[in-house]
Structure 1
Amino acid sequence: MAAERQAQAGQISVAAALRGSLTYFKFRFLKRPHNVKIRNLRLSEKQRGQAFELMEVDGFIDRISDNEIYDFTEDHVGYGLGFAGRSGGYLCLTEVYFEGTGYRSWCRSCRQRNYCSVLDADALSSEELAIANKVIGNGGVWFTHVYLEESEIKALDMPEDEKIKLINHYKNQKWLTVSNRCGKCGANGEQGRVNYIQQPLRKIVRPLHVNKDDFHKMSADELKVWTDLVCDFDWCCDLIRMNLIDATERCRIVEEDVQVTKTIRTIQCI
């Protein structure tokens, strides 16, 4: 009994610590930021000036943070780190997930993506292809019995119930086209649209919002997951800060003149 009370007291302590650690309150919800503004890093005047100059160089922030953020996201799938604030002076925990884009095909000529799939004619029998062409060709707007009376479908040597089944199937295919013609560049055939093997995904990143009252409802295992997440986040932010401070000592800015070749179009008359 004493052991149970001790374990329960430990859970309450961990929950309270997490509530205190996540300090960016907004109503009952809170975020988890780290202040990485240069003026708060206790740098010398020389280091501070160097840091501001380094921050203006393209790619510097990625250089000091990419590896650390990658390692963090590898260890904590579904979470990430992001810079926030008007000047990017805060590092925040984020939620990271992927969702489908809805695109089903793409053009091999201009790479334009399309929400419609292309009918795979090679995978269909001649009878099914005839029904698919007729139904999809006019948008599937007719009643089923009207399609049955069409000469192309009426002439097919197959039971009527099979015809009805196929007609209804293709009437429901609202995102399917017979032609693979691209609506943007007009390419078709071997140069036209082709279906994706797997629907492309897009990465969604959003600030992590936590209801502070939820910690007192979590089990010991759930609290451990959150504790590991917060501790690793703190360590990742510390590494990024150390990388910045180290860069002020070891790095200098070198200006280089780079020539860029540019292709232009002119008019020549004869």
Structure 2
Amino acid sequence: MHPAPSVIFFSTFSGLGFGLLFWLGFGFPAVTGWTAFAFFTIAYILAVGGLISSTFHLGHPERALKAFTQWRTSWLSREGWCAVVALVLMALYGAGLVFFDQRWTLLGIIGALFSLATVFTTSMIYAQLKTIPRWNQLPLTPAYFLSLSIAGGALMAGQITWAVVLLVIAGAIQIATWLMGDKALENSGTDMASATQLGNIGTVRAFEPPHTGTNYLLREFVHVVGRKHAQKLRIIALGLMIIAPVVLLLLPFNHFLALIAVVAHVAGVLTSRWLFFAEAEHVVGLYYGKR
């Protein structure tokens, strides 16, 4: 798949923002007043900024509101509703902490769960697609999104012990998604014969390419990244988003080192998310001899 910058930005930063809201909803860190205001401001900038950026790749962004009407069948619509509910509930919860020095525990927990549900619905937008076997892996794809969101949120919330443990878990899930994803298209059983339903009459092969030049399908759905480049980027992603933050967090606490850990983690997740899209093999590539 073509890795659209807006979608990479959206899935990375909204996941981090909702991850931070998740921890704030459960009272970590236990802040009130202007300190709470600072934490909630960062969380909302990340979550809302990410959501807004997701509309940049739409041909008609003004029609995005129509997605809210399809919640019965669309994970995109469910994501929208979960995001709105989470942001409203957490705004009320945050107002209690900032302006009234009150912790409305039940409201915070419900808001935290809706924040996590938002990340889950985002993951299901991709996990439901049978035409992209690398994404169509349950429960790996949701676990990939959720683990990075919660671990990143713990890192942003200053929960050192939890962050170290959750980052290690997220790293293990990331490696599993890569290893399983590399075999996903082959194991799906999808090939030219199954795609055309002509396998019952003999061996199916393409007589000639469908097009002599490029087209929309090739640009958007048949992006190919070299294996050597992918391996290098995987090492960079894992090193930045998992190894570097864990090492820095295990050192004596220092605010500067904590900031570097957050920056490294974000850079690593951006790299990982670029690979998430760039390595995804859409089955339409079979018609073009690209798979």
TM-score clears 0.5: no
TM bucket, shorter chain: under 0.3
Q: Name which one, 1 or 2, has greater alpha-carbon Rg.
A: 1
Q: Which has the higher contact order (CA 8 A, sep 6+)?
A: 1
TM-score by length of structure 1 reads: 0.23
**Which structure dedicates a bigger proportion of its chain to helix?**
2
**Which structure dedicates a bigger proportion of its chain to strand?**
1
